[in-house]
Amino acid sequence: AQTVTQSQPEMSVQEAETVTLSCTYDTSESDYYLFWYKQPPSRQMILVIRQEAYKQQNATENRFSVNFQKAAKSFSLKISDSQLGDAAMYFCASTNTGKLIFGQGTTLQVKP
Amino acid sequence: DTGVSQNPRHKITKRGQNVTFRCDPISEHNRLYWYRQTLGQGPEFLTYFQNEAQLEKSRLLSDRFSAERPKGSFSTLEIQRTEQGDSAMYLCASSSPWEGYNEQFFGPGTRLTVL
């Protein structure tokens, strides 16, 4: 069975600084996908970034990038130049069959 | 099409009552998923459909829960004889074969409170 673990319940970052959110996962599948989703307070979940396991190159989306370490089963999210609008709960998730398996989430606070 | 929609957004009910939620996916998304999210936790998978067919159900989906997608478009999730432990946010998501089903788009959720 797939599992996803986020060991940081809360993180904080100063506006314009960089922060890294951690995620580890476990799967016996060779073909899978990893995601980071953002859930602002009382707002819906949106996809931040995704990584295909077969790709060695780390995904990037503007200020968001990942550090995908396949052997270590680690998938961290780096947010550069943090903005107040980045404050939200961030979920790491994995899938190989369609259904998403989510971690427990990390609440990110951005300080002005 | 502006995205996945869910109705109602909030539902307050008394223990023992039945409730039904509706999800309208993005057009041409033939996969539809239901998740449950309790406060401060990550969403947990409940079930998903490809067109009309319900392809997988989680063990979390007890006999009191039933989901349907009769015409392969919108879906309903019914909870019978609600219990206080059913209080949660119920999320719906949809995905498209054009993306290999790998990107799921979420709706705003239905928040259920069972008194």
Contact A98 B48 (CB under 8 A): yes
Contact A46 B48 (CB under 8 A): no
Q: Are strands B75-79 and B19-24 parallel, antiparallel or unpaired?
A: antiparallel
Q: What is the pLDDT of residue B1?
A: 53
Q: Which residue of B has its CA nearest to A96?
A: B102
Coil vs helix vs strand at A26? strand
Which of B5, B90, B106, B111 is the best mutation test for A, with the most CBs of A within 10 A? B106
Query: Between A95, A101, A105, which is nearest B41 by CB?
Result: A105
Regions of chain B short of the pLDDT cut 70: 1
Q: What is the pLDDT of residue B102?
A: 77
- Closest listed residue to residue A32, CA positions, set A99, A102, A97: A97
Rounded-to-10 torsion of CA B95, B66, B22, B84 = -110
- Alpha-carbon span A40 to A24, nearest angstrom: 22
- Alpha-carbon span A85 to B26, nearest angstrom: 26
Query: Between B42, B102, B103, which is nearest A103 by CB?
Result: B42
**Nearest CA distance, A55 vs chain B (angstrom):** 15
**Nearest CA distance, B21 vs chain A (angstrom):** 17
Instruction: Kindly list the strands in the beta sheet with B65-68, ordered across the sheet, starting from the edge strand earlier in the chain.
Output: B5-7, B19-24, B75-79, B65-68
Q: Are strands B110-114 and B10-13 parallel, antiparallel or unpaired?
A: parallel
Query: CB–CB of A53/A41 below 8 Å?
Result: no
Q: Which residue of A has its CA nearest to B41?
A: A104
- Alpha-carbon span B113 to B106, nearest angstrom: 21
Query: CB–CB of B58/B75 below 8 Å?
Result: no
Residues of chain B found within 8 Å of residue A101, distances taken between Cβ atoms: 45
Contact B106 A45 (CB under 8 A): yes
DSSP A54: T
Regions of chain A short of the pLDDT cut 50: none
Which residues, in sequence order, are CB contacts of A1 under 8 Å at separation 6+? none
Contact A50 B102 (CB under 8 A): yes
Q: Are strands A10-14 and A106-111 parallel, antiparallel or unpaired?
A: parallel
Q: What is the pLDDT of residue B61?
A: 85
* Tokens representing residue B47 in the block: 């079930």
